[in-house]
Amino acid sequence: MSKAIVATTSLAGCFGCHMSLLDIDERILKLIELVEFNKSPIDDIKTFTKQCDVGLIEGGCCNSENVHVLKEFRKNCKILISVGECAIMGGLPAMRNNIPVEECIQEAYLDGPTVGNNTDKILPNDDELPMILDKVYPCHEIVKIDYHLPGCPPRADLLWEALVALLTGNELKLPYEVVKFD
Ligand code: SF4
């Protein structure tokens, strides 16, 4: 059986979902038999070098670069999966969604207690910086998402069972204890 090609990324996420994937422990040896990683922080491949079977997305979209990367994943992956609460609902970063973005920037760079010595009141304005969005968007509001794996992070067992079922075409059996929603 040829290996499935898998890509992963972290958008507005904390890498906890990637850590959970690594938490499958010794099953990672089996995973390497099943898949070849393409663009992913796991192998540090920065750009897609081939069409992928599965894309795993951690994190929602808080800036223009997140949107660009997510659209690239949709273009290059047959199946796209939102992994974790940040990808599914925006997660912790989406706590800013009820606050105008100008107020967030003001607090972060000018008024906040940890701003320190920004006496010249400089706001980040380099052209290379991605534009912050008006709010944090879950991935399915930007592109079509095929599956959602809940949890913060999803349990390693859930990631493993879902990936194996998807890659082998077997029925996905999810005992209650491997799914969590927080
Ligand atoms: S869902 Fe939880 S673990 Fe995953 S990126 Fe968001 S905060 Fe981190």
pLDDT tens profile 28-87: 999 999 999 999 999 999 999 999 999 999 999 999 999 999 999 999 999 999 999 999
111 occurs within a structural domain: no
Instruction: Report the pLDDT value the prediction gives residue 1, as an integer from 0 to 100.
Output: 66
The residue whose CA has the least distance to atom 5 of ligand 1 is 13
Give the H or E element holding residue 31: helix 27-34
Q: Which residues of 12-48 are buried (b: 16+ CB within 10 A; e: fewer)?
A: bbbebbbebbeebeebeeebeeebebbbbebeeeeeb
42 or 176: whose pLDDT is higher? 42
Instruction: Report the pLDDT value the prediction gives residue 38, as an integer from 0 to 100.
Output: 96
13 occurs within a structural domain: yes
- Token couple for 133: 């969005």
- Dihedral angle, C-alpha 107, 12, 42, 70, nearest 10 °: -140
The residue whose CA has the least distance to atom 6 of ligand 1 is 86
53 occurs within a structural domain: yes
Please, is 125 exposed, middle or buried when counting C-beta atoms within 10 Å of its C-beta (0-12, 13-18, 19+)?
A: exposed
17 occurs within a structural domain: yes
The C-alpha atoms of residue 65 and residue 83 are separated, in whole angstroms, by 19
Please tell me the pTM assigned to this model: 0.93
101 occurs within a structural domain: no
- Token couple for 18: 């990637």
Confidence of residue 172 (pLDDT cuts 50, 70, 90): confident
Q: Are 136 and 104 in contact (CB under 8 A)?
A: no
Q: What is the mean pLDDT of residues 145-164?
A: 95
- The per-residue pLDDT of the chain, averaged, comes to 93
Instruction: Report the pLDDT value the prediction gives residue 2, as an integer from 0 to 100.
Output: 86
Task: List, in sequence order, every residue forming a beta bridge with 36; answer none if it has no partner.
Answer: 5
Task: List, in sequence order, every residue forming a beta bridge with 35; answer none if it has no partner.
Answer: 4
**Cα 156 to ligand 1 centre (Å):** 13
* Residue whose CB lies within 8 A of the most ligand 1 atoms, among 85, 92, 95, for a mutation test: 85
Total number of domains in the chain: 1
Q: What is the mean pLDDT of residues 86-104?
A: 96
Domain that holds residue 34: 4-96+135-178
Cα radius of gyration (the chain) = 18
* % of the chain surpassing 90 pLDDT: 83
Residue 180 has pLDDT above 80, yes or no: no
In ligand 1, the atom with minimum distance to the C-alpha of 10 is 5
Non-local CB neighbours of 112 within 8 Å, separated by 6+ positions: none
Tens of pLDDT, residues 16-43: 999 999 999 999 999 999 999 999 999 9
30 occurs within a structural domain: yes
Instruction: Report the pLDDT value the prediction gives residue 46, as an integer from 0 to 100.
Output: 94
Instruction: Report the pLDDT value the prediction gives residue 177, as an integer from 0 to 100.
Output: 80
- Specify the CATH number for the domain of residue 46: 3.40.50.700
In ligand 1, the atom with minimum distance to the C-alpha of 153 is 3
* Residue whose CB lies within 8 A of the most ligand 1 atoms, among 8, 14, 61, for a mutation test: 14
Residue 182 has pLDDT above 90, yes or no: no
Q: What is the mean pLDDT of residues 126-139?
A: 96
102 occurs within a structural domain: no
The C-alpha atoms of residue 113 and residue 164 are separated, in whole angstroms, by 47
75 occurs within a structural domain: yes
**Cα 61 to ligand 1 centre (Å):** 13
Q: Are 165 and 172 in contact (CB under 8 A)?
A: yes
HSE-CB at 156 with a 13 A cutoff on CA atoms is 12
Pocket of ligand 1 from Cβ distances under 6 Å: 13-14, 16-17, 58-59, 84-86, 91-92, 152-153
